[in-house]
Amino acid sequence: MEFRQIQYFVCLYEEGSVTRAARRLNIVQPALSMQIAKLEEEVGQQLFVRRPQGMQPTSDGRRMYRLFLPVLGDFSRAREQVMQTSAELTGQVRVGMIATIAQGVLVDALLEFSSLHPKVELSLTDGFSGTLTDAVSVGQLDAAIINKPRRSLALNSEPIAEEELLLVTGPLHTALDETVPFRELAHLKLVLPTRQHGLRGIIESFGEAEDVSLAPGVEIDSISAILKLVLESEFCTVLPRIAVRKQLEHASLRGHTVIAPRLTRQLVCVTHPRRPPTPAAAAFVATVVRHVRGLGGNSV
């Protein structure tokens, strides 16, 4: 088994098409097909099935992809670090973050970083904390910024910031004081993320500690949809300050401090203990963290 075959296999798996994979690898299609056939012969397993919609991996192919992807990632990171110079960052960066961070600072951080390091390729994604953690574990992501999980992880976890959660109301909502006791939330018309969302777990953990049951009238995972509903109705929500900073600055929404207790969340950056981020990935994460802290997240 040659390393080139691993590269070809992973590329074909991800592209799902011999034509697209060959174009990505900058080789001719017969050369790709020949190497995949050799690989299948060597391992004694059929890795792909040709379908009208493209090359579909078999169960053996999917298992091999899970095994090969970390190996290929380790090689790419090692190669980048060996070739890296202090003068200029290069390579590909794959970082994930929870949606509230993506909505709050991603664009600003991306523009700043890209202007300083134009040769770095950025591949960025948002999602639930658990999904992002799994992606770091299997090598699909170099790092992820997530809500601090309740359980310990088999990953490196670096605290980033502690951030305030606000009660957010729109122009159609009855006027509220600047500070609102947590128990009052049980009597409000709430829209909150579903229980799949890490933010919902944080809010409910405060409710359990205070023996307060929160029953939202609507559950939506999309932060932008939550904000639109709050803006156009009497619904209110609980979100991190970073997710609503622009709306608060423009006074289209109002933020109220929740007291007794004060609501906060802790953000962490997770990386794999055996696959440290490349200099480029570490630099991009540092840029995002700086923006988070600059928008009211207290460093921890």
CA-CA distance, 229 to 116, in Å (whole number)? 38
- What pLDDT, on the 0 to 100 scale, is given for residue 141? 94
- The per-residue pLDDT for range 195-224, each reduced to its tens digit, is 989 899 999 999 999 999 999 999 999 999
- What pLDDT, on the 0 to 100 scale, is given for residue 65? 87
CA-CA distance, 222 to 256, in Å (whole number)? 21
- What pLDDT, on the 0 to 100 scale, is given for residue 213? 93
Give mean pLDDT, residues 70-78: 71
pLDDT band at 108 (very low <50, low <70, confident <90, very high): very high
Indicate the fold that domain 161-265 takes in CATH: D-Maltodextrin-Binding Protein; domain 2 (3.40.190)
- What pLDDT, on the 0 to 100 scale, is given for residue 45? 86
Q: Which structure tokens are listed for 292?
A: 């988070």
All CATH 1.10.10.10 domain ranges of the chain, comma separated, are: 3-77
- What pLDDT, on the 0 to 100 scale, is given for residue 296? 57
pLDDT at residue 133 is higher than 90: yes
pLDDT at residue 77 is higher than 80: no
- The per-residue pLDDT for range 18-44, each reduced to its tens digit, is 888 888 888 888 888 888 888 888 888
Give mean pLDDT, residues 233-251: 94
Strands 218-219 and 91-97: unpaired
Superfamily of domain 83-155+267-299: Periplasmic binding protein-like II (3.40.190.10)
- What pLDDT, on the 0 to 100 scale, is given for residue 80? 62
CA-CA distance, 210 to 252, in Å (whole number)? 31
Omega cis (within 30) before 273:
no
- What pLDDT, on the 0 to 100 scale, is given for residue 297? 57
pLDDT at residue 247 is higher than 90: yes
All CATH 3.40.190.10 domain ranges of the chain, comma separated, are: 83-155+267-299
Q: Could you give the percent of the chain with pLDDT greater than 70?
A: 94
Enter the CATH code of domain 3-77: 1.10.10.10
* The pTM of the whole model exceeds 0.85: no
pLDDT band at 299 (very low <50, low <70, confident <90, very high): low
Give mean pLDDT, residues 149-178: 93
All CATH 3.40.190.290 domain ranges of the chain, comma separated, are: 161-265
Alpha helix (H) residue ranges in the chain: 3-15, 18-25, 29-43, 59-83, 99-101, 107-116, 129-137, 198-210, 223-231, 245-249, 279-294
pLDDT band at 253 (very low <50, low <70, confident <90, very high): very high
